[in-house]
Structure 1
């Protein structure tokens, strides 16, 4: 690596690491607790970048298959820009988020009529969307936070429908425009 690159990288590191507003905490690492209920390991990072603005990048990944052809495989990424009414990582915020995901879900017996088809079929596809969110963060300890957020917006779903099981055959395909919830989280975060 030449010396010019080293100097540029060192300067970028110093700007990102040492920049703060009034010595506020500027980086948070978090996990969405309800996402773990779907056996989905997840993590997010949020960085304050300008006055009352932060950028969050959260994601989850579920590679697991269960017995009897049940699966809830997916990965999901939520980038979000947030405006905080008081200060970053404290109180009310509004956000503009994206949602990008791929899924392979089926064989599930869920108690929702709208998702009854998941019992005998498997859906494989992707969703891309955008939405607005609102949330609130409580300071629980010196560096520990509890955050609740919800969002709604638009999503474009492209998917194929298969018969139940890993070796199922393709039955149909679909393309849908979706308007509704696009984000929901109850997160525990550590800021520094």
Structure 2
């Protein structure tokens, strides 16, 4: 929990030390909202062509039809902008970490093949690279599109059914593939 708090607070602590930080934005990822996962992000310009961002969110409730996708996720990212910060293309490196308790759901990319009939509970951590585009609509509002590929170490317990109590398996998985997908609404402060 202390590591998560530090990852969230890092941009806030770094920003005043940079002396030339000029901009800050708030954002939310619409793709996370599509899974009913509230989320918020903050990004600070740390120079004319680089920035530091942190995105976080989660879902903390169960569906009524024996499905659950409880989780939380934090994703800090460093970005390099070829032209200027918060305008056009960017390339980034990100880390991510979180916890999950999910079952009765069909997820893409085959991360957990039996998730529709079984429950998985555990944590994941990893890193990756990203590419994105920041499209300014006006002085305050923007849209941002981003994708990322990377690696995740996933440590989990597998349960026989979505609501069962005793774990069948305690193991881990190495995942290589998409680690970020974002269509975000951005507000410049």
Q: What is the TM-score normalised by the length of structure 1?
A: 0.84
Partner of 1:88: 85
Aligned residues: 176
* Residues 69 and 165 in structure 1, CA contact (< 8 A), matched pair in contact too: yes
Q: What is the TM-score normalised by the length of structure 2?
A: 0.85
Partner of 1:122: 119
* Residues 69 and 164 in structure 1, CA contact (< 8 A), matched pair in contact too: no
* Residues 78 and 99 in structure 1, CA contact (< 8 A), matched pair in contact too: yes
* Residues 47 and 85 in structure 2, CA contact (< 8 A), matched pair in contact too: no
Structure 2, unmatched stretches of 5+, are 1-11
- Find 1:56's aligned residue among 46, 53, 57: 53
Structure 1 102/18 Cα, relative in aligned 2: closer, same or farther at 3 Å?
closer
RMSD, aligned α-carbons: 2.3
Deviation at 1:118, TM superposition (A): 1.2
1:28 aligns with 2:25: yes
Q: Which moved more, 1:158-167 or 1:27-36?
A: 158-167
Partner of 1:76: 73
1:184 aligns with 2:181: yes
* Residues 91 and 136 in structure 1, CA contact (< 8 A), matched pair in contact too: yes
- Find 2:96's aligned residue among 96, 99, 108: 99
